[in-house]
Structure 1
């Protein structure tokens, strides 16, 4: 992928010598396979199209969910880079009901890229409920 005239792109923190095998269907479309491999730093190349990366992630999750249900937890979504957040939102919007569930935690008041997804606001416990929970855990440990 890419020629010697084009700069090689890698996500921050990825080793340039990454050559280990990575998950993916051998039958998945080549461009999606290459886009995902480049996005996670396992293949060299220019920055991949986020649409292809999103399709690759969607296909990968859908394939894996055929074997067992999958829960994807994304904590602190506000700390994701914009491209990653948009890719995950793209995937979440297109998942068919069933074997894959995506849960995003977003700090209240934070800007995020998750527009169009179902939201459930969860607030912290008040002091009385916090004490009751702590006491129940401590009693269970004794």
Structure 2
């Protein structure tokens, strides 16, 4: 009977010497750590491969090369459309909202939006999606 077979049997563990117990414990530890390392390496490789696939898909969709993180965010949120047209529409919507807020009777019609700068969010796409979901659940 091998050391690991004795180590696995609770009835035989008391018959092992301290050295055999230490050796069994080390073998068990290294096996567990080795399996964990192999699985994490496989996960890391799979995620890297998926990142490249998503980046290639986003490049084919938009025609512009992107890095993997932005391509993944664009792919997941569906924002792989033409950004120039989207920015022009955003400027038009913001201008219309400001004009509506100011009101036609109060303003003199001299409102001009000269520049709108998009601010980079420090939050990830997942955090933004969670925030939007949380806000949507609070509406009446």
TM class by smaller structure: under 0.3
More helix, by proportion: 2
Normalised TM-score (structure 1)? 0.20
Normalised TM-score (structure 2)? 0.20
Greater relative CO (CA pairs within 8 A, separation 6+): 1
Structure label with greater radius of gyration: 2
